[in-house]
Amino acid sequence: MSLGLSRERIMQTELILTVVGDDRPGMVQEAANCVREVGGNWLESRMTRLAGKFAGVVRVSLPEASTAVLVEKLESLEGMSIHVEPAGTLEDNPQLRAFTISIIGPDRPGILDEVTRALRKSAISVVELQTRVGPAPMTGDQTFFAEVDMLAPPDTDIGTLVNGGSNLGGC
């Protein structure tokens, strides 16, 4: 007995979208609507407002055949610059250990380069990074603040890396 239902398998794909534009109400909704209109699903995103600009990174899944239509729809959105990339494959490495560190120190040019250089030298991969510059609570001096989620090889001595101060940009 057949109910006339198709068992045809629709090939899905995942894309990473980056969205940047002058901040205004409705930006996220417009991008989300484009994804919905092509039968896509908004899987995860990180979005923020920086210096009057709205910026976001989004992972979506959609029928593979709808990719070109989605790109066309997104590119037609006014006031937004959108870049589309195929999503990479997620390779879990159970040997890597997850850590989060907070860094606070006097702000100066090149501090993030120094911090990330030390992480790279120790084969540490940045998973998520949030930075800001603001006044120190007691002195009001310009201070660099960072929160780093990372994955490190099992033999990495995070204590030495963090407590070594100069290893992380002198913070």
Q: Residue 106: inside a domain, yes or no?
A: yes
Q: List the single range of 6-20, 27-41, 90-104, 152-166 with lowest mean pLDDT.
A: 152-166
Band of residue 35 on the pLDDT scale cut at 50, 70, 90: very high
Q: What is the CATH number of the domain that holds 161?
A: 3.30.70.260
Strand order across the beta sheet in which 53-63 lies? 41-50, 53-63, 12-22, 80-86
For 59-91, the pLDDT digits (tens) are: 999 999 999 999 999 999 999 999 999 998 867
Q: Are residues 59 and 81 in the same domain?
A: yes
Last residue of a domain, one of 37, 56, 86: 86
What residue numbers bound the domain in which 135 lies? Answer: 97-168
Q: Residue 46: inside a domain, yes or no?
A: yes
Other CB atoms within 10 A of residue 30 CB? 18
pLDDT at residue 165 above 90?
no
CB 69 within 8 A of CB 60: no
Report how far apart, in Å, the C-alpha atoms of 81 and of each of 55, 69, 74, 89 are: 9, 17, 9, 25
Last residue of a domain, one of 86, 109, 141: 86
Q: b/e per residue, 87-117, with b = 16+ CB within 10 A?
A: eeeeeeeeebeebebebebeeeeebeebbbe
Q: What domain count does the chain have?
A: 2
Tell me, what DSSP letter sits at residue 122? T
Q: Are residues 59 and 106 in the same domain?
A: no
Q: Residue 42 corresponds to which tokens in the numbers above?
A: 């908004």
Sign of the four-CA dihedral 57, 63, 68, 70: negative
**Residues contacting residue 10 through CB under 8 Å, at least 6 positions apart:** 63, 64, 65
Q: List the single range of 47-51, 53-57, 87-91, 141-145 with lowest mean pLDDT.
A: 87-91
| Total-model pTM | 0.79
Q: Residue 121: inside a domain, yes or no?
A: yes
Last residue of a domain, one of 86, 106, 131: 86
pLDDT at residue 46 above 80?
yes
pLDDT at res. 166: 47
> What is the mean predicted confidence (pLDDT) over 117-140?
93
Q: Are residues 73 and 120 in the same domain?
A: no
Question: How far is 19 from 26, CA to CA, in rounded Å?
Answer: 13
Q: What is the average pLDDT score of the chain?
A: 90
Q: List the single range of 13-17, 52-56, 107-111, 165-169 with lowest mean pLDDT.
A: 165-169
Other CB atoms within 10 A of residue 76 CB? 11
